[in-house]
């Protein structure tokens, strides 16, 4: 009997841990977005860690391991360009797909919206693709500010772990992680607005 109770308890704990929400509200009430038609969205990578290293340390390490200076600079350009050319557009596209039922659109560069949403990537694990692959992983902090009061967050969210696919291309691995994060966040907003 004791073994059965122990097994049920362990199963219940595993179930609880596995069912924790993917989007956490750190502070505020997401309902403030209700009725908004457009919110400006911005992306930052402030104080981002890449694995166990700061982004600066990671970039330095990757450049030192490159075969030559040209390939090091090409890698660095791709590392930065993927953000604006792949990750951010994918996030916006899928977020808007999930919030369109609410009549809410997120757009970059709009300067006449009441709110600004800042999506900060604070952790990136690029993953790898070998005989034992590891998918990419990102962690995001999303903060909503009134345009007139950028120093006072209205709502803050945390998305602590989002994985991408394990594919050969690092950019694709991360691209899929941003897509998954947008789906999770968009579904959350769709349910809670």
DSSP state at residue 120: E
What is the residue-level pLDDT of the chain in tens, covering all 193 positions? 555 444 454 444 434 344 456 999 999 999 999 999 999 999 999 999 999 999 999 999 999 998 889 989 999 999 999 999 999 999 999 999 999 999 999 999 998 999 999 999 999 999 888 777 788 999 999 999 999 998 999 999 999 999 998 888 888 999 999 999 999 999 999 999 8
Please give the residue range of the domain that contains residue 80.
23-192
Query: Please, what's the b/e burial string for 35-63 (b: 16 or more CB within 10 A of its CB; e: otherwise)?
Result: ebeebbbebeeeebbbeeeebeebbeebe
Q: CATH no. for residue 120? A: 3.30.160
Distance, CA of 71 to CA of 158 (rounded, Å): 35
Asked if residue 13 is part of any domain, the answer here is: no
Tokens of 125: 């694990």
Look at residues 107, 97, 95 and name the one whose alpha carbon lies nearest to residue 42. Answer: 107
Asked if residue 140 is part of any domain, the answer here is: yes
**Domain count within the chain:** 1
Asked if residue 30 is part of any domain, the answer here is: yes
């Amino acid at each position: 009997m004791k073994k059965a109770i122990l097994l049920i308890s362990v199963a219940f704990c595993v179930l609880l841990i596995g069912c924790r929400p993917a989007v956490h509200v750190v502070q505020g009430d997401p309902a403030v977005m209700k009725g908004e038609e457009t919110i400006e969205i911005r992306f930052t990578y402030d104080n981002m860690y890449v694995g166990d290293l700061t982004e600066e340390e990671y970039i330095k390490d990757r450049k030192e391991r490159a075969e030559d200076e040209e390939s090091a600079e090409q890698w660095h350009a791709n590392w930065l360009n993927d953000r604006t050319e792949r990750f951010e557009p994918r996030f916006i596209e899928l977020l808007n797909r999930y919030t369109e039922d609410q009549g809410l659109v997120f757009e970059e560069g709009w300067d006449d919206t009441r709110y600004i949403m800042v999506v900060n990537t604070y952790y990136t694990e690029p993953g790898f693709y070998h005989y034992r692959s590891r998918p990419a992983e990102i962690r995001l902090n999303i903060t909503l500010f009134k345009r007139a009061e950028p120093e006072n967050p209205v709502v803050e969210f945390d998305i602590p772990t989002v994985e991408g696919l394990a594919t050969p291309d690092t950019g694709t691995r991360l691209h899929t992680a941003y897509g998954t994060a947008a789906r999770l966040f968009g579904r959350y907003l769709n349910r809670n607005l």
